[in-house]
Amino acid sequence: GNSVTQMEGPVTLSEEAFLTINCTYTATGYPSLFWYVQYPGEGLQLLLKATKADDKGSNKGFEATYRKETTSFHLEKGSVQVSDSAVYFCALRPNTGGFKTIFGAGTRLFVKA
Amino acid sequence: EPEVTQTPSHQVTQMGQEVILRCVPISNHLYFYWYRQILGQKVEFLVSFYNNEISEKSEIFDDQFSVERPDGSNFTLKIRSTKLEDSAMYFCASSGGLAETYEQYFGPGTRLTVT
C-alpha cells in the first residue's frame, strides 16, 4: 500500500542552522510528493511539491528533491529562522486509483534564537 | 488568491449530539475532501466527494458520518451522534482535478471538542 515515513521529532535547532527532515515513501506507480507546514494554532499550508522523479520543489528557502531511486523526498533549508518553528508533514498523492493525500506523522521543529 | 474557508473555527458539543461542520471550497473546484487530525497525531483521510457522491472513504468514515453538498457552494460533514474520540481538528480540502498533480487546497480547520 501507499505510506509515508518521516523522521520523528521534535527537532531543535539554533537560528541559522542547517535543517534536514527525512521523508521516505512507499507507493505504486509515480505519486506526487508534497511538504505541508502547520504553524501553531493554524491549518495546513502547502510548502512545496514535486510531481515527477528528479523534480526539485522549492519555496521560502526550503527545498526537496523527488528521488525515485531511494524513494525519498527530504526537506532541507540552509539557514532556519525562529519563524520556521512549526510541524512539517511529508505527503503523497498516488497516481493509481484513490483520491486522497496520504500524510506522514509530522515532524515538529523548534528553532531557538 | 482563492482559499477554502471553514466554519466554525471551534465547536464544542456534548457527547451524543449532532454536529455539522461547514466548508466553502474554491469556487471552480469539483473534488472535495474531509480529513481529520487528532491532537498530536497525523492527518487522516476521511472521505472524498465528486459529482454529488462519495468517491472514496476510509474505515474511519462509518455510519455516524455523512457528507453533503447542499447548494452550489457549501460542503458539509455531519457527525450524527458525537463520541469523545471524535474530538479532533477537521480539515476540508478541494481540488480542481483528480490527477495526482492537482494540488489539494486545505482550509484552516474546525477544532471539534466533544465533552
Chain A residue with Cα closest to B42: A105
Contact yes or no for A11/A109 (Cβ under 8 A):
yes
pLDDT tens readout for residues B94-105: 988 766 667 888
pLDDT tens readout for residues A12-51: 999 999 999 999 999 988 899 999 999 987 888 899 999 9
Cis preceding linkage at B108, omega within 30: no
* pLDDT tier for residue A98 given thresholds of 50, 70 and 90: low
How far is Cα B74 from Cα A51, in angstroms, rounded to an integer?
30
**Would you state the pLDDT for residue A40?**
84
Q: Is the pLDDT of residue B33 over 90?
A: yes
* Residue linked to cell 505519486: A31
Q: Check A100 against B48: CB less than 8 A apart.
A: yes
* pLDDT tier for residue B34 given thresholds of 50, 70 and 90: very high
Contact yes or no for B77/B91 (Cβ under 8 A):
no
3-state secondary structure of A56: strand
**Would you state the pLDDT for residue A97?**
62
- Residue among A75, A79, A62 nearest A17 (CA): A79
**Would you state the pLDDT for residue A80?**
98
The mean predicted confidence, pLDDT, of chain A is: 93
Instruction: Using an 8 Å CB-CB cutoff, list chain B residues near A36.
Output: 106
Report the 10 Å Cβ neighbour count for A8: 11
3-state secondary structure of A47: strand
Give, for B57, the enclosing helix (H) or strand (E): strand B53-57
Contact yes or no for B80/B18 (Cβ under 8 A):
yes
Q: Is the pLDDT of residue B41 over 90?
A: no
Q: Check A44 against B44: CB less than 8 A apart.
A: no
Q: Is the pLDDT of residue A5 over 70?
A: yes
How far is Cα A89 from Cα A24, in angstroms, rounded to an integer?
12
Instruction: Using an 8 Å CB-CB cutoff, list chain A residues near B55.
Output: 99
Give, for A58, the enclosing helix (H) or strand (E): strand A56-59
